[in-house]
Amino acid sequence: MKLLKGLGLLGLASAEILWSDDLTTDGWEERWVQSAHKDDYGKFTLESGKWNDMKGLKTSQDAKFYAMSSGFDKFSNKDKTLAVQFTVQHQQKIDCGGGYVKIFPSDVTAEDMHGDSEYNIMFGPDICGYSTKKVHVIFRYKGENHLVKKDIKCKDDELTHIYTLIVTPDNKYKVLIDNEEAASGSLEEDWDFLPPKKIKDPEAKKPAQDEWDEREEIPDPDDTKPEDWEQPEHIPDPDAEKPEDWDDDMDGDWEPPMVDNPDYKGEWTAKKMKNPAYKGKWVHPEIDNPDYAADDQIYAFEDFGRIGLDLWQVKAGTVFSNFLMADSAEDASKAAEGILEKMKAEEAAKKEEDDAKKAEEPEDEDGEEELGDDELGDYEDMADMDDYEDEDGDDDMLDDLMDEDAVGKDEL
């Protein structure tokens, strides 16, 4: 298929825009193909986002895996900047599900793409409950997938957000959210692509204490225990009196109960003093790692040919759009600026809707506002989840499904 230039079209257009699709052109079902690897994948529909007119691919079925992709002419980012950008709108108030893309080599086919298909890059937000709200950035390097070590927070509201990844030939990267930097740094430092440059010297051993004293303070050898220090911890109660009805023959010898000794001072220890032999904490010396070898091509991939939405969602309703791959960070930024203007209008429209709903909500007798549709919807969704778990009588079914697509297991 011939690829054309333009943000609204598809295109291997120039040295700048490598490929893009904002879903405004006809024939999206020909460009985006559902995988046939399984017959129960969730269906994507073409819809505009909430509070905006940006068309996109929307997840439409709850508790489903999704697998759809679009191919383009093969290209390499060797000696070039790579910018990957797309928008995500979790208009369903997502509770658990992926919002990321995977970029595959050209030998991955649309019909067979699935969770175990090898990809070059996985990038985008992932949310599950309160604990997982992160931006995944995973690169495949020498046959293994490597997850960024930084914790990059994603957005979890109902509005549209722009996610941008920029990788440059100097092995540097940037992650932007809504065209603002969320993370940046070195590929070598923020991923475990390479073994460490330095390792602990295997020949070095920690010296004995008389050779290397790590104690900052020691007992004062001149301090002595006072003569009156030794006192019992408990003594007979001096105020106790033998009961009048106590019979020594019957009850035995009477002894007063014991009480805490007010003169007891505890175990004596000598005062501390600075250790004149203190040398500080011993640090294991390091040597150059013989297994380390620098690689100035970590960033480079020889073959990009397909982008896919391969993910799981508990509650459907996410809209993906404004896909862009370019060899210029400036082109990605320019495209983002246009989207940001639409996002401002979207935010204003949502606020107007929320204000109108709030004004219509009746107050109860105590003056407290009743739960709105969104809050009630959350409780209903929780009930739906219980129904889903109970269908097969197996409370662990949903967890098993999640494990099947977990990054720690399959993505990595």
Q: What is the pLDDT of residues 123-139, one digit of tens each?
A: 999 999 988 999 999 99
Per-residue model confidence (pLDDT) at position 402: 43
Q: Tell me which residue of 7, 193, 171 sits closest to 82, measured CA to CA.
A: 171
Residue 272 CB neighbours (<10 A)? 13
Six-digit token string for 411 = 């993505």
| CATH code that applies to domain 17-195+297-347 | 2.60.120.200
- pLDDT 10s digits, 345-380: 999 999 999 999 999 888 765 555 445 454 444 444
pLDDT score for 34: 97
| Average pLDDT value for the chain | 87
Domain ranges of the chain: 17-195+297-347
Q: Is residue 233 a contact partner of residue 264, using CB atoms and an 8 Å limit?
A: yes
pTM, two decimals, is 0.74
Cross-strand partners of 267: none
Q: Is the pLDDT of residue 232 over 80?
A: yes
**Residue at token pair 């002894």:** 255
| CA gap 293, 78 in Å, rounded | 20
Stretch 295-324: mean pLDDT, rounded? 97
Q: Please list, in sequence order, all residues whose beta carbon lies within 8 angstroms of the beta carbon of residue 27, skipping any fewer than 6 positions away.
A: none
Residue 251 corresponds to which tokens in the numbers above?
A: 């009850």
Cβ neighbourhood burial of 384 (10 Å; 0-12, 13-18, 19+): middle
